[in-house]
Structure 1
Amino acid sequence: MTLPTPRRRPQSVTAAAVEDIKRYIREQHLRTGDPLPTESEICERLGYSRSSVREAIRILSTLDIVTVRHGHGTYVSGMSLEPLVNGLVFRTVLEADDSLGFLGNVVDAREALDLSLGAELARSVDGETVEQLNALVEKMRERIAHGEHFAEEDQAFHRLLVSRTANPLVRELSDAFWQVHDEVMPLLHMDVVSVADRQRSVEAHQAIVDAVEKGETEAYTAAVREHYAPLRSVIEARV
């Protein structure tokens, strides 16, 4: 495999190595699971030291651009949105003076994304999916009856719902925002939710299912807004 000739190096040697390896992946049209050259090959062709290449690979691995399989080599990763999730969680907690405001922004983003899917979901959600969604809502009710939270069922519900959209990036973003929301809540001591609010949330989930089953986009919009209303109330009460 031919490696690109190194260009003018910005800022630091490691930063340059990161950019050159990324450029190689692009120019060679590598896809998820494809192998990169060995560490020694990268060093020889690009003129970097072994330590600089190792650090560059470590950074690219952290960004989920490559995956290092010890004893096997380095491969192009599936490039999930995990770095985005980690960054948003850290930013929310770090900006203590406006953490609640930023959480509100995350809720706004989740709601906007959900609302944008109404027409498509009304067309694409089939009977089998409706049955599965109803089963998850019933599990939520059981959780409440036992005094338990239903985060696992909630995530499964939203993953299943957006799985019916044709846009894979929307599916990934939806789950990424859900994870940010879920991880930030306990860090801001907002994970204690009243039984009444949990019940209200469950009924909003049920209304979402009913709306997409009937193909009623206006009802879907109202149900989505109702779904996020309790959380908005909690945030507004603490701002």
Structure 2
Amino acid sequence: MTAVPRPARQSRAVEAQQGVKDLIVRRGLVAGDPLPTESELMEELQVSRNSIREALKALQAVGIVDIRHGFGMFVGRMSLAGLVDELTFHSRITLQNGKNHLAHLVEIREILESGLVQRLIDLGQEADLTPISDVIARMESEADEGLVSPETDRLFHDLLYRPLGNPLVSQLLGAFWDVYYQLRDHLGEPDEPPLDVAKRHRDMYTAVLAGDRAAAEAAVHAHFHGVRNRLARLRG
């Protein structure tokens, strides 16, 4: 049997990937729904087993397909893990560059949060921010002991924007946070005392509660001041 050239095999695998995605859309499947077996996909898409397996492996890597050995294949749930890995890698190799990727990511997140606090103020009384007070109290308690934990910091932002009802906000901010957290040891010691960190978070919370747009935006920018300083220090 004549071997199929590699470019041809790759092309068929790419076609199989598109075929699987089209099948998911055509059947109206959603995250967690079971997918047809390999044999069923081969028959429906008219491709070889190797092409199907290569396609499924590629789709699994980007979270479109979830393969659970012993249970079957399912439509994957959206994940930004691949994006986090890529951004972390490229940010790491450009940390000493004046135009490093991490600085760009921080800038994007700062702009995003500046807009999100305005959306919260638009919600007014519909935005239930009650859970934030407990997180602020925990943050201030940690600051008194000398360090605000990354988990508390992340929880603050997650709960603050939850009333917006947009799950992508949490995932996207979480992705930015993950990249920064993985690179934190490369940035040197923080410039801000823990009590200042806690205060900047409280200022954001207080401004949103008061509906003070200018104060909310100023608080967001102040919150990112320490991060900008650490990045500027890397640039010399």
Q: Indicate the larger mover: 202-211 or 141-150.
A: 141-150
Shift of 1:38: 0.4
Query: What's the counterpart of residue 193 of structure 1?
Result: 190
Alignment match of 1:235 (pick from 196, 208, 231): 231
Gap change, CA 1:41 and 1:168, over 3 Å in 2: same
Query: What's the counterpart of residue 107 of structure 1?
Result: 106
Q: Deviations over 1:38-61 (max 9, x none)?
A: 011112332333233222212211
Secondary structure of the 2:224 match is helix
Query: How far apart in 1 are the matches of 2:141 and 2:61?
Result: 39
Query: What's the counterpart of residue 132 of structure 1?
Result: 131
Query: What's the counterpart of residue 13 of structure 2?
Result: 14
Counting only pairs closer than 5 Å after superposition, residues 176-187 of structure 1 correspond to structure 2 as 176-186=175-185
Please say if 1:205 is aligned against 2:205.
no
Q: Indicate the larger mover: 130-139 or 209-218.
A: 130-139
Question: RMSD of the TM alignment (CA)?
Answer: 2.4
Query: How far apart in 2 are the matches of 1:99 and 1:65?
Result: 36
Which one-letter code corresponds to 1:229 in the other structure? Answer: H
Which one-letter code corresponds to 2:152 in the other structure? Answer: E
Partners of 1:64 and 1:79 within 8 A in 2:
yes
Query: What's the counterpart of residue 55 of structure 2?
Result: 56
Which one-letter code corresponds to 2:187 in the other structure? Answer: M
Secondary structure of the 2:91 match is helix
Structure 1 vs Structure 2: percent identity of aligned residues? Answer: 32
Shift of 1:126: 5.3
Query: What's the counterpart of residue 222 of structure 1?
Result: 218
Query: What's the counterpart of residue 82 of structure 1?
Result: 81
Gap change, CA 1:45 and 1:99, over 3 Å in 2: farther
Q: Deviations over 1:190-231 (max 9, x none)?
A: 26324x443322111000110111111111001000000011
Partners of 2:63 and 2:77 within 8 A in 1:
yes
Q: Deviations over 1:19-54 (max 9, x none)?
A: 221122122222112221101111233233323322
Secondary structure of the 1:75 match is strand
Counting only pairs closer than 5 Å after superposition, residues 144-155 of structure 1 correspond to structure 2 as 144-155=143-154
Which one-letter code corresponds to 1:91 in the other structure? Answer: H
- Unaligned runs of at least 5 residues, structure 2: 1-7
Partners of 2:121 and 2:211 within 8 A in 1:
yes
Which one-letter code corresponds to 2:144 in the other structure? Answer: A
Which one-letter code corresponds to 2:198 in the other structure? Answer: V
Q: Using structure 2 for the length normalisation, give the TM-score.
A: 0.86
Partners of 2:9 and 2:51 within 8 A in 1:
no
Partners of 2:207 and 2:215 within 8 A in 1:
yes
